[in-house]
Structure 1
Amino acid sequence: MTIQYRAANRSDLNALLPLVEGFAREQQAQLGIHELAEGFMQFAKTSLAQCLEHPAAVVMVAEDEGAIVGYAVGMLQEPPSIFRPELYTYISDLYVVPDRRRQGIGTGLVERVRGWGYLKGAFALSLIAPYDSPAVRLGQRVGMRPIQTMLYAPGR
């Protein structure tokens, strides 16, 4: 296994969609929701296409023998004006296909998104994840620490 990391481009869009769907289904399942909203995949495709083209965003992919096995979306952000104006990189999506997890691929994706942000002048990194998810442990391994807890009560 030799994982190659690179910034995705427009030609990767269709190959990324099954991973985006897998990520969304896992997120929904954690909330007890088992169906994606109508039109979700079209929304996801449009959003991902915008990230691929926007200079303040990156979609980083991990490939093994030409197949994409993971991806992360990073965006440059500025905090609200009441905080110190320090540019940071926000990771909105981080997903590795289930049979390739716990092999360092997620860590590799986070590190490459972080490096992309450094090159853009963003020296801090942010990620929102469910408190008991593997993403929290991954974040801690790369030097992140929890700063906020968000509680959610699903509707009926």
Structure 2
Amino acid sequence: MSAFVRLARPSDLAPALALWTALHREHQALDPRYRLADDAAARWSTDFRDWTRSEGSRVWLALDAGRPVGLLTAHLYQPAPLYREHLLVHVADLYVMPEARGVGTGRALLDHARSWGRAEGAAQLQAGVLAANAAGRAFWARAGADDYSVTVTVGLGDAVDKGGARR
């Protein structure tokens, strides 16, 4: 399998959303604490249209024989003002369908984000990876990434929703 990577267009919403949905289904299966809002797909769809037209965002699709098999979304940003100013590329979503893994599809998507970041003058590329996603963590380690910040969680007992019902 050899994937071709190109920038997404607004008309690519349906296949991009299908890949994004698959990513989050995998995350939900890995950790029950990972739960999206009911309207997350609708919100992401609206953002996708903006990202495909924005100078500060990019969405790439990996295609194999014309079939979408991978997705990467990335955004330029500056860290909070209390940190030294420098431009970063944040990879918000990176997903490769299981049958397209291990053959360079993810690396090809990441290479596009790296090249774009360099051309824009970014100093770093960063991404968040679900702790339970061993394959994702291994991918990033092979790409030269290392831990910069780790988010920890502490359960507070029974959660209560906004209506006061126990979950």
In the superposition, the TM-score normalised over structure 1's length comes to 0.90
Match of residue 99 from structure 1? 99
- The DSSP-based 3-state class of the residue aligned with 2:55 is coil
Instruction: Give 1:6-155 correspondences, 5 Å limit.
Output: 6-32=6-32, 37-133=37-133, 134-153=135-154, 155=159
| Deviation larger for 139-148 or 25-34 | 25-34
What are structure 2's unaligned runs of at least 5 residues? Answer: 160-166
Retained in 1: the 8 A contact 2:30–2:132?
A: no
CA separation in 1, counterparts of 2:106 and 2:154? 28
The one-letter amino acid paired with 2:142 is R
Q: Which moved more, 1:30-39 or 1:20-29?
A: 30-39
Counterpart-to-counterpart distance in 1, 2:42 and 2:131? 29
Identity of aligned residues (%): 28
Output the CA distance in 1 between the equivalents of 2:123 and 2:84.
Answer: 13
Q: Using the TM superposition, give the Cα deviation of residue 33 of structure 1 relative to its aligned residue in structure 2, in angstroms.
A: 5.6
Larger radius of gyration: 2
Deviation by residue 1:78-121 (Cα, 9 ceiling, x = unmatched): 11112111101000000011222222211211111111111111
For the residues of structure 2 that align with 1:89 and 1:5, how far apart are their CA atoms? 18
2:55 partner amino acid: P
Note the residue ranges of structure 1 that are not aligned, 5 or more in a row: none
Q: Is the 8 A contact 1:6 1:60 kept in 2?
A: yes
Cα offset, 1:124, TM superposition: 0.9
Distance (Å, rounded) in 2 between the aligned partners of 1:35 and 1:100: 25
Decide which moves more: 47-56 or 35-44: 35-44
The SS at the match of 1:37 is coil
Give me the whole-angstrom Cα distance separating, in 2, the residues matched to 1:79 and 1:41: 27
8 Å CA contact 1:8, 1:59 repeated in 2:
yes
- The CA RMSD over aligned residues, in Å, is 1.9
Q: Which moved more, 1:100-109 or 1:59-68?
A: 100-109
